[in-house]
Amino acid sequence: MTTTKGHPPQTFRHEVLAVTLQVREDRLCVLLWRRGEPPHRGRWALPGGPLLPEERLGTSIARHLAVKVDVRTVAHLEQLETRSDPRRDPRGRILATAYVGVVPSDASPAVPADTAWHPADALPTTAFDHGSIVASGVARLRAKLSYTNIGFALAPRTFTVAELRQLYVAALGHDVSATNLQRVLTRRNVIEQLGERAASGPAGGRPPALYRFCSSALQVTDPGAVFRANNRSV
């Protein structure tokens, strides 16, 4: 509730929303559900809902996510931004605090019939300002792929360098050199070789080495780094 001199007290609703991202079939996808009631009936929206009076924001988004996706499959979840445009919802002023969550590529979370994964770069018609919030979530993930170890949340427990490259290419939206990626992440102590090899493919040949992320907790590894297209990084 807010009070301004000369104006009566006002109470605003507050909701939480989740930009849940996963690389699926070599494309970065976001989880959306189709609204069954007005406003914006039939449009696709981010999972979320009202913040209850006794809840913290983190508790609330975990509760809402549990309805749409098994929260145990979300490897990383962080607060993204708060939207406060008084006109963002035709029902009245509703503040929205958004989170971004990342699901590993090998996870197959069950979702309700009204919910589906959509390519983040080819969204269907979205409700409210949710398309813009998805763009903010994608931008956050891409930025953190450059200077943190957040790739652990995209990847399965073990992987080859070629598999990890595909995940980075899908998430970043541009090509990345496998050799450069391996060199940079190894130098930053982000990934380590297991001393094991993947199964041989149908063409035979020497099986590729298996890697894993050194940590499954978010860490800043190089504050000034950026993965760039054309096989360059600084």
Per-residue pLDDT of the chain (234 residues; tens, 9 = 90+): 555 566 667 788 999 999 999 999 999 999 999 999 999 999 999 999 999 999 999 999 999 999 999 888 999 999 999 999 999 999 999 999 999 999 999 999 999 999 999 999 999 999 999 999 999 999 999 999 999 999 999 999 999 999 999 999 999 999 999 999 999 999 999 999 998 888 766 666 678 999 999 999 999 998 877 666 654 443
- The domain in which residue 201 lies consists of 148-213
Q: Are strands 13-24 and 94-102 parallel, antiparallel or unpaired?
A: parallel
- 98 plus 165 within the same structural domain: no
Closest alpha carbon to 160 in 128, 111, 193, 117: 193
- 121 plus 163 within the same structural domain: no
17 bridge partner residues:
48, 98
CATH code, 75: 3.90.79.10
CATH code, 165: 1.10.10.10
Give the count of domains, the chain.
Answer: 2
- 80 plus 29 within the same structural domain: yes
Answer whether 16's CB lies under 8 Å from 51's CB.
Answer: yes
